[in-house]
């Protein structure tokens, strides 16, 4: 006789091993300030009108699906697909297969556009950082500062017949790049991003310095592009450290002590590369969609 299928909830309860995805989602369930984030979005979220009609998907479900998209780099169609395929993702989103509606790709797309229309993604970022600060997780004594280039198509073979006017060219080493820059300030202890700014590519990294600091630092860590005598003076007092890579004098070589200091700074600064990996590899922002083209919705 064929086996009778087990109920999904019973099948989950009988599992002996938790997957890495389940462990990660359980951690996110505990640390994300859901109530605070929902309160930000709720005033903008559609309600059932006086004439009735089909009620919208629960706001919390949509927010959780949005987070799943970011964590697992899911397109809108793939997010819908994964909600059918993954029991762990359905449980995280609060969906019971067979009992609840599963948001389709259009509903998921419309929710992302709602967040963008009301500039809610920036507010969510700020609210999460405020929550982490309340918990004593961020705004510690040190900040890592760095920037990365995000390429944009330089071709004019598009609907607008022109390059994106918000992008520009810059030279790094012997190579030229066209696009934008993402600048981040990262907590030196936890590795959590507390500041984010975007500029056109030609903007020098050091011009965004003040926007990336929270103001309570006793140390800053950065590469040679941030060298500044004025800024160094501000971090030269007792209990402070100027962790910016030393530059060799023109036509000369670094002193061996400065070389040792640079090695120490480089080891500390390595932590700032992780957000760029997430931004480019996990979120998929290796490049900016072409101006005038369809891009990815």
Q: How far is CA 103 from CA 76, 82, 97, 106, 242, in A?
A: 10, 11, 12, 8, 50
Nearest Cα neighbor of 142 from 268, 278, 274, 279 is 268
**Structure confidence by residue, pLDDT tens digits, 232-287:** 998 888 888 899 999 888 888 988 999 999 999 888 888 888 777 766 665 566 66
Which neighbouring-strand residues pair with 182? 148, 198
Q: How far is CA 131 from CA 33, 37, 68, 108, 115, in A?
A: 7, 10, 20, 26, 20
* Residue 13: burial class (beta carbons within 10 Å; 0-12, 13-18, 19+): exposed
**Structure confidence by residue, pLDDT tens digits, 180-196:** 998 999 888 777 788 88
Region of poorest pLDDT, from 66-80, 107-121, 124-138: 124-138
Section 132-146 average pLDDT? 73
Question: ∠198-63-297 over CA atoms, to 5°?
Answer: 55
Helix-helix angle 105-117:120-134, to 10 degrees: 80
pTM equals 0.61
């Amino acid at each position: 006789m064929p086996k009778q299928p087990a109920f999904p909830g019973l099948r989950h309860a009988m599992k002996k091993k938790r997957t890495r995805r389940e462990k990660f989602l359980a951690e996110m369930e505990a640390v994300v300030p859901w109530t605070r984030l929902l309160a930000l979005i709720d005033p903008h979220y559609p309600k059932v009108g006086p004439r009735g009609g089909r009620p919208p998907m629960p706001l919390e479900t949509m927010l959780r699906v949005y987070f799943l998209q970011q964590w697992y780099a899911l397109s809108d169609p793939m997010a819908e697909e994964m909600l059918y395929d993954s029991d762990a993702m359905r449980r995280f989103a609060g969906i019971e297969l067979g009992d609840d509606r599963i948001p389709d790709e259009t509903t998921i797309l419309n929710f992302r556009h709602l967040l963008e229309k009301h500039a809610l993604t920036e507010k969510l970022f700020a609210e999460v950082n405020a929550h982490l600060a309340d918990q004593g997780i961020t705004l510690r004594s040190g900040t890592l500062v760095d920037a990365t280039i995000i390429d944009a198509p330089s071709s004019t073979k598009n609907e607008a017949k022109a390059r994106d006017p918000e992008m520009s060219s810059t030279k790094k080493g012997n190579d030229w790049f066209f696009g934008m820059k993402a600048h981040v300030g990262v907590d030196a202890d936890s590795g959590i991003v507390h500041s984010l700014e975007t500029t056109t590519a030609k903007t020098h990294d050091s011009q965004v310095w003040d926007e990336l600091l929270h103001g309570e630092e006793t140390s800053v860590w950065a590469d040679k592009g941030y060298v500044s005598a004025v800024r160094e003076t501000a971090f030269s007092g007792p209990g402070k450290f100027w962790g910016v890579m030393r530059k060799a004098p023109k036509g000369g070589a670094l002193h061996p002590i400065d070389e040792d200091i640079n090695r120490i700074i480089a080891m500390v600064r390595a932590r700032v590369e992780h957000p760029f990996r997430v931004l480019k590899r996990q979120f998929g922002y290796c490049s900016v969609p072409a101006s005038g083209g369809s891009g990815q919705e």
